[in-house]
C-alpha cells in the first residue's frame, strides 16, 4: 500500500507532465527526444545487467558483494555513456536528423546517474523499506517537472525534455543514496560474485530481447513516418503506458521478495499469484477498460487540441489490459530464478510482436497500435501456459480469473464508450467524469454475478489486511 501510494503521486505528476508540457511543446519536440530514447535506452539494459534483481532475490547478500555490485553498475554506466557519445552521429544519421547528435550526447549522462543509483534502489527493495523508496521516487519527478515546465515556458523546446530526464536522475540518486544510508567502499577481490553475474546476465538477455520488441514501434515510426508522427504516438504512449508501468512496477517490488521466500510452498505460491491477478485485474484492468471506452474525451482533456490520437490511445489501453493479465507470471519467473526459461519465452513473444507491428506500420500510427494490441492478445494465454511447464503453478484458475476480468473490463469500456458518444460535443471536463460514473455503474452491476462478487470480496480482504494491524510474523503467511 505504501508503494502504490507513492506511485499514485508519481502518476499524478506524470499525467501533469503530459498535460502541461504537451501545451508548451510540439509533436516534433517529443518526437526528437523519443528517437534518441528508442535507440540509446537499449544500453540501460547493459548498464544494470540484471544485477539489481539479482541482489533483491539473493538469499544472502554481504556488504562486500553489495559494494562490488555498486562498482559494477557504475562502471557499466560510465562505459555506456562513452559509447553513447561516440554513437551520437550514427543516431543522427539513422533518422536523418542532425539535431540528434547533441541530444544523444546530453542524454548519455543518464547512464552514469542510473548506474550509481541501481544498487541503492535494490537495497531499499531488499530490505522492504518501501516508504523511503516511495519518497525518493516521488520527489525526483516532481522537481524535474517544475524545472522542465519553466524551461519549456521560456522557449527551451525539446531541451526542456532533456533537462527533465537529467534532473530526475540527479535528484533520485541523491535521495535514494541518503535513504539507503551507506556508501560503497573499495571493490574487493576474492568475493563470490558468480551467482549474481550468471543470474544478471541471463536476465539481461531477456530484457534486451523484450526491449527490442517493445521499441520496434517507435523505431519504425521514426524511420518511416518521421518525427511529427512519432511525437503524436509518443504522447498517447506517455499518457497511458508510463502510468501503467509505474502502477505495475511496485507490485513486482513487493511480490518478488515475498515470492522468493515462499517459493518452496506451491500452495501458498498459487494463492499469492491468484490474489495478485485479482488485485491487478479488478483495479488496473477495469481502469484500462474505462480509458479505452472514453479515449476521445480523455485525450482531449489531457492533451488539448491538436493531438488526434484517441484511436491509438484506445488500442494501447487494450494492449495494457492483455499485458496485465499475464503480469503475475513475470513475478514467478524471477522469484524462482527461471531466467533462462523467461528468455526463451520472451524470444517467442517478441517475434510475434515484431511481426504484428511490421504489418501494422503500413497503416500509420493507428495500425502500429493495432498490431501492438493484437500481439499482446495472442501472447497472454501463452505466457501463463509457458510458466506452468517449469513450475507447479496451475493455470486453469488463472485463465478463469482472466476471463472474469475481461468481462468486467469489457462492460466498463462499453458503458464509457456509449456515454462518450451520447455526450459528443460536450466539454471533456464534463464528459470524462460522466464516463467514469457510467463505467462504475457497469462494474457495480456485474457484482450480481457470484464469481465476480467473490473476486471483489477477495480483493477487499487483501486491502483490509494490508492496511490493518497485524503481527510481524504473519506478514508473509497472509500474503
Following DSSP, what letter does each residue of 168-196 receive, concatenated? HHHHHHHHHHHHHT-------SS---HHH
Q: In the predicted model, is pLDDT for residue 203 greater than 80?
A: no
Q: What is the pLDDT of residue 4?
A: 67
Average pLDDT over residues 121-125: 82
According to DSSP, residue 283 is labeled I
84, 40 in Cβ contact below 8 A?
yes
According to DSSP, residue 99 is labeled T
272, 251 in Cβ contact below 8 A?
no
Q: In the predicted model, is pLDDT for residue 287 greater than 90?
A: yes
pTM above 0.75, yes or no: no
Q: How far apart are CA 217 and CA 368, in angstroms?
A: 6
93, 223 in Cβ contact below 8 A?
no
Q: What is the pLDDT of residue 474?
A: 40
Q: How far apart are CA 227 and CA 92, in angstroms?
A: 12
More confident residue, 149 or 330: 149
User: Residue for cell digits 483495479?
Assistant: 283
Q: How far apart are CA 265 and CA 244, in angstroms?
A: 30
Select from 137, 69, 82, 143 the least CA-distant residue to 108: 82
Helices (H), 389-449: 396-422, 428-446
Q: How many CB atoms lie within 10 A of CB 269?
A: 22
Q: In the predicted model, is pLDDT for residue 470 greater than 60?
A: no
Select from 57, 72, 379, 49 the least CA-distant residue to 207: 49
Cell numbers found for residue 156: 527551451
Q: What is the pLDDT of residue 478?
A: 34
Q: How far apart are CA 270 and CA 328, in angstroms?
A: 11
Confidence of residue 477 (pLDDT cuts 50, 70, 90): very low
Following DSSP, what letter does each residue of 313-377 receive, concatenated? HHHHHHHHHHHHHHHHHHHHHHHTT-HHHHHHHHHHHHHHHHHHHHHHGGGHHHHHHHHHHHHHH
Nearest-10 Cα torsion for 86, 78, 219, 170? -120
pLDDT tens-place string over residues 323-362: 888 888 888 887 777 777 877 888 888 888 889 988 998 8
**Maximum mean pLDDT: which of 32-41, 69-78, 373-382:** 373-382
List of residues 6+ apart from 139 with CB closer than 8 A: 171, 172, 175
Q: What is the pLDDT of residue 227?
A: 78
Q: What is the pLDDT of residue 159?
A: 92
Confidence of residue 471 (pLDDT cuts 50, 70, 90): very low
pLDDT tens-place string over residues 128-141: 787 888 888 888 88
Q: What is the pLDDT of residue 466?
A: 57
According to DSSP, residue 209 is labeled H
Q: How far apart are CA 479 and CA 473, in angstroms?
A: 12
- Cα dihedral sign, 366-369-375-376: negative
Average pLDDT over residues 46-52: 66
Confidence of residue 231 (pLDDT cuts 50, 70, 90): confident
Average pLDDT over residues 188-207: 69
SS3 133: helix
165, 107 in Cβ contact below 8 A?
yes
Average pLDDT over residues 387-405: 88
Q: What is the mean pLDDT of the chain?
A: 83
Following DSSP, what letter does each residue of 443-454 receive, concatenated? HHHHTTSHHHHH
**Maximum mean pLDDT: which of 167-171, 214-218, 241-245, 342-346:** 167-171
Q: What is the pLDDT of residue 49?
A: 67
Q: How far apart are CA 120 and CA 198, in angstroms?
A: 21
271, 393 in Cβ contact below 8 A?
no
| Region label for 304, one of left (φ > 0), alpha (ψ between -120 and 50) or beta (otherwise) | left
Q: In the predicted model, is pLDDT for residue 276 greater than 70?
A: yes
Q: What percent of the chain shows pLDDT beyond 70?
A: 87
Amino acid at each position: 500500500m505504501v508503494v502504490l501510494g507513492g506511485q499514485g503521486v508519481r502518476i499524478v505528476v506524470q499525467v501533469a507532465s503530459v498535460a502541461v508540457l504537451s501545451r508548451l511543446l510540439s509533436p516534433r519536440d517529443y518526437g526528437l527526444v523519443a528517437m534518441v530514447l528508442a535507440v540509446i535506452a537499449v544500453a540501460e539494459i547493459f548498464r544494470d545487467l540484471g544485477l539489481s534483481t539479482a541482489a533483491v532475490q539473493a538469499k544472502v547478500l554481504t556488504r562486500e558483494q553489495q559494494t562490488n555490485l555498486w562498482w559494477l553498475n557504475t562502471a557499466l554506466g560510465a562505459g555506456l555513456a562513452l559509447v553513447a557519445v561516440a554513437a551520437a552521429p550514427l543516431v543522427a544519421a539513422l533518422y536523418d536528423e542532425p539535431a540528434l547528435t547533441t541530444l544523444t550526447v546530453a542524454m548519455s549522462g543518464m547512464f552514469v546517474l542510473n548506474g550509481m543509483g541501481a544498487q541503492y534502489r535494490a537495497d531499499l527493495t531488499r530490505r522492504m523499506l518501501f516508504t523511503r523508496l516511495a519518497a525518493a521516487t516521488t520527489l525526483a519527478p516532481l522537481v524535474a517537472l517544475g524545472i522542465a515546465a519553466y524551461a519549456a515556458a521560456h522557449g527551451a523546446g525539446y531541451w526542456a525534455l532533456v533537462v527533465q530526464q537529467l534532473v530526475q536522475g540527479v535528484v533520485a540518486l541523491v535521495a535514494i543514496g541518503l535513504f539507503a544510508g551507506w556508501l560503497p567502499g573499495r571493490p574487493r577481490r576474492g568475493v563470490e560474485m558468480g551467482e549474481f553475474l550468471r543470474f544478471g546476465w541471463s536476465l539481461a538477455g531477456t530484457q534486451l530481447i523484450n526491449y527490442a520488441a517493445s521499441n520496434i514501434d517507435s523505431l519504425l515510426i521514426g524511420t518511416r513516418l518521421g518525427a511529427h508522427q512519432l511525437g503524436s504516438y509518443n504522447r498517447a504512449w506517455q499518457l497511458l503506458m508510463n502510468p501503467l508501468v509505474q502502477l505495475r512496477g511496485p507490485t513486482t517490488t513487493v511480490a518478488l521478495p515475498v515470492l522468493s521466500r515462499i517459493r518452496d510452498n506451491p500452495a501458498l505460491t498459487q494463492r499469492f499469484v491468484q490474489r495478485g491477478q485479482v488485485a491487478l485485474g479488478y483495479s488496473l484492468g477495469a481502469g484500462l477498460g474505462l480509458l479505452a471506452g472514453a479515449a476521445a474525451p480523455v485525450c482531449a482533456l489531457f492533451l488539448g487540441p491538436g493531438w488526434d490520437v484517441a484511436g491509438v490511445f484506445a488500442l494501447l489501453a487494450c494492449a495494457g489490459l492483455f499485458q496485465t493479465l499475464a503480469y503475475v507470471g513475470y513475478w514467478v519467473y524471477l522469484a524462482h530464478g527461471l531466467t533462462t526459461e523467461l528468455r526463451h519465452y520472451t524470444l517467442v513473444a517478441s517475434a510475434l510482436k515484431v511481426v504484428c507491428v511490421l504489418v501494422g506500420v503500413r497503416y500509420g500510427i493507428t495500425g502500429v497500435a493495432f498490431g501492438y494490441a493484437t500481439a499482446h492478445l495472442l501472447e497472454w494465454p501463452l505466457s501463463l501456459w509457458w510458466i506452468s511447464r517449469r513450475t507447479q503453478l496451475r493455470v486453469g484458475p488463472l485463465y478463469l480469473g482472466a476471463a472474469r476480468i475481461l468481462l468486467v473490463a469489457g462492460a466498463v469500456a462499453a458503458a464509457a464508450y456509449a456515454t462518450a458518444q451520447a455526450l459528443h460535443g460536450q466539454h471533456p471536463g464534463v464528459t470524462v467524469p460522466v464516463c467514469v460514473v457510467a463505467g462504475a455503474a457497469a462494474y457495480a452491476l456485474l457484482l450480481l454475478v457470484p464469481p465476480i462478487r467473490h473476486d471483489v470480496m477477495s480483493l477487499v480482504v487483501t486491502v483490509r489486511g494490508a492496511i490493518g494491524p497485524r503481527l510481524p510474523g504473519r506478514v508473509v503467511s497472509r500474503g
